[in-house]
Amino acid sequence: MRAAPVFVSQEELKAQQDAARQVSALPNRPGSYHIVTYGCQMNAHDSEKLAGLLSGMGMTEAPDRREADLVLFNTCCIRDNAERRALGNITWLKELKAQKPGLIIGVCGCMVQQPAMAQKILRQYRFVDLAFGTHNLHCLPSLLLSLLTQRSRVFSVTDDETLIAEGLPVKRLNAYHAYITIMYGCDNYCSYCIVPYVRGRERSRRMDDILREAEGLVKSGVKEIMLLGQNVNSYGSGSATETFPILLRKLDAIGVERIRFMTSHPKDLSDELIQAMADCPHVCHHLHLPVQSGDNEILRQMNRRYTREAYLDRVRRLRQAVPDIGLTTDFIVSFPGETQAQFERTCDLVDEVGFDAAFTFIYSPREGTRAAALPGRIEAAESTRRIETLIRHVEASTERVHQSLLGTEELVLVEGLSKRDEGMVSGKGRRNITITFPGDARDIGAILPVTITSCAANTLRGQRKER
């Protein structure tokens, strides 16, 4: 059963706005903030909301953590190395605080949502002033107000995991590209994954709220909207009129120039969604479809609820309907007990599908997940060998895709000047591949036709087509 979302009440949101006003009037409030973000796009977008809330309290953004009065770490806990990196950087700030006693250090996001980690930060990181989890981000004004008026540490983690807060201010990172979260949480419980424990039950926003937000973004000059969710293609309230394909069609009709979305689960990739991708001219021809493994027994133990054959069938259907679709994926190597033969099936899946690109990860045990209790841990040296082998397959696949694109035309949304080459700009084509071509600052934000002329590592080069 899908959990019914609970929308944060107007009274609560008003109370937060009141708290924000009180914070901005306090003589001891921080003048500037700096947010350090780890992890996925959901976190990047949460940071935009945090920045929106902090700006609303009269604070300006400091470009460097050393110059800020408040440093906020928005953390990720998907793998052990994400946690270690964040803890290392948080510890580094202890020194800074010794020189600058007024500095406020905050930690929020997925790491804090794990009770054991929250306890660890509370006990062992005494210099952290403020901590809150993923479910009460909207409470930042009242938490900051308590911190500044009571001058004692504020730790607030709620497990109210069905909440949705609408209408929070957002300070966007990019003028032309914007994120919209359409659903929160995940109910899939893949056996390796911590996400359902820290992001809560799956819950979807109302379609009208999403459409209104998208219309506002289009009016403000946004060209590309990325729809976000842990599992966007299971979006919906359970009613037949609020499904992901219907949402895509409605967004397509309101004049968003480009629509992207992530992440999709292969088991929820319906024919209706494939048809909507084929029919909607503004939906980009790119799909991130994490497969994780090419072996059926490993997929079963991962609780992915599809087989290699079912995945390949979805890919075939997609390519029939949208022949130039670019596919990207995620892989985990060294899941407990993975044999050499099972690993090789993952490598040959890469060769068989021909992905544009893939993120590759070594399995990282996460406390509290089912896989963490499984026997058959694979040694670090062997895991490194496996991931390096897999990366070679992925690189060869990328190279083949890029070669096949030579001479074709792409529409590129120009993001900025190329960092490496003078006189060049770069941006993404509809397939989400970075393309560099001659241009200057006046092109930023434009969508331009480009002919692909050469390829290098992960990018393509092109020549602007004269219109």
Query: Are the CB atoms for 351 and 312 separated by under 8 Å?
Result: no
Binding of ligand 5AD by 330 (CB under 6 A): yes
Q: Which of 236, 290, 429, 445 binds ligand 5AD (CB under 6 A)?
A: 290
Name the one residue in this structure whose structure tokens are 């609820």. 305
230 makes contact, choosing from ligand 5AD, ligand SF4, none, with CB < 5 to 8 Å by partner type, with ligand SF4
Binding to ligand SF4 by CB under 6 A, coded x per residue (else -) over 59-98, reads: ----------------------------------------
Which region, judged by CB under 6 A, interacts with ligand SF4, from 39-47, 91-99, 190-198, 454-462? 190-198
Rounded to the nearest whole angstrom, what is the least distance from the CB of residue 190 to ligand SF4 in the complex? 3
Q: Check binding of 343 to ligand 5AD (CB under 6 A).
A: no
Among 180, 186, 413, 435, binds ligand SF4 (CB under 6 A): 186
CB of 390 to ligand 5AD, least distance (A): 12
**Binding to ligand 5AD by residue 185, rule CB under 6 A?**
no
Q: Tell me if 293 sits within 8 A of 192, measured CB to CB.
A: no
Of the candidate residues 77, 193, 259, 347, the single one contacting ligand 5AD (CB under 6 A) = 193
Least distance (Å) from ligand SF4 to the CB of residue 64?
32
- Our CA dihedral for 121, 124, 129, 133, rounded to 10 degrees, sits at 10
Q: Cα–Cα distance between 235 and 183 in angstroms, integer?
A: 6
Binds ligand 5AD by CB under 6 A, chosen from 114, 361, 412, 435:
361
Environment class of residue 128 by beta-carbon count within 10 Å: exposed (0-12), middle (13-18) or buried (19+)? buried
The CA-based angle 349-353-354, given to 5 degrees, is: 115
Write the DSSP symbol of residue 465.
P
Q: Does 54 engage in binding with ligand SF4 (CB under 6 A)?
A: no
The residue (of 184 and 192) whose beta carbon lies closer to ligand 5AD is 192
Q: Residue 177 and residue 168: Cα distance in Å, rounded?
A: 18
Q: Which of 192, 235, 244, 343 binds ligand 5AD (CB under 6 A)?
A: 192
Please report, in angstroms and rounded to a whole number, the separation of the first and last CA atoms in the chain. Answer: 53
47 binds, among ligand 5AD, ligand SF4, none (CB under 5 to 8 A by kind): none
Read off the amino acid at residue 430.
R
Could you tell me which stretch among 117-125, 211-219, 362-370, 437-445 binds ligand 5AD (CB under 6 A)? Answer: 362-370
Pick from 321, 328, 291: nearest CA to 308: 291
Q: Which is nearer to ligand SF4, 231 or 243 (CB)?
A: 231
346 belongs to the binding site for ligand 5AD (CB under 6 A): no
Q: Which stretch binds ligand 5AD (CB under 6 A): 199-207, 221-229, 361-369, 384-392?
A: 361-369
Question: Please, what is the Cα angle at 314 between 312 and 316, to 5 degrees?
Answer: 70
The Cα 431–Cα 434 span in angstroms is 9
Binding of residue 364 to ligand 5AD (CB under 6 A):
yes
Q: Which of 57, 332, 390, 460 binds ligand 5AD (CB under 6 A)?
A: 332
The stretch near ligand 5AD (CB under 6 A) out of 53-61, 267-275, 359-367, 435-443 is: 359-367
Residue 263: cis peptide before it, omega within 30 degrees of 0: yes
Looking at the Cβ atoms of 141 and 290, the one nearer to ligand SF4 is 290
The amino acid present at 323, given as its one-letter code, is P
**Burial of residue 152 (number of CB atoms within 10 Å: 0-12, 13-18, 19+):** exposed
* Residues 350 and 310: beta-carbon distance below 8 Å: no
The Cα–Cα gap between 398 and 244 comes to 29
Q: Are 118 and 133 in contact (CB under 8 A)?
A: yes
Q: Which parts of 280-433 fold into alpha helices (H)?
A: 296-301, 308-321, 340-353, 380-405
Residues that bind ligand SF4 (CB under 6 A): 186, 188-190, 193, 195-196, 230-231, 265
Residues within the interface to ligand 5AD (CB under 6 A): 78-79, 192-193, 290, 292, 330, 332, 361, 363-364, 366
